[in-house]
Amino acid sequence: MIFVDPAYTSQECSACGHVDKANRPDQATFSCTSCGFAEHADVNAAGVVSSRGEIGWAVSHAA
């Protein structure tokens, strides 16, 4: 298990990494103002958490 900082996961684009409050126009919708990626907000946030976890694991297990 690895800790993932949950800050701004609901506002970060899982496709390009752009963070903006405007990316989350309502509770269920995510639409990136930078690249145009759109997804259900919870699915997008899960992708961000997953990506952060992979990066965190790789850093903690680097040689």
How much is the pLDDT for 23?
Answer: 98
- Quick check: is 22 in a domain? yes
- Quick check: is 6 in a domain? yes
3-61 residue pLDDT tens: 999 999 999 999 999 999 999 999 999 999 999 999 999 999 999 999 999 989 988 88
- Quick check: is 36 in a domain? no
pTM: predicted TM-score of the whole model, two decimal places:
0.88
Domain count, the chain: 1
- Quick check: is 63 in a domain? no
Tell me which residue of 34, 47, 46, 15 sits closest to 23, measured CA to CA: 34
- Quick check: is 49 in a domain? no
Note down the domain range covering 9: 1-31
Alpha-carbon distance of 37 to 63, in angstroms, equals 35
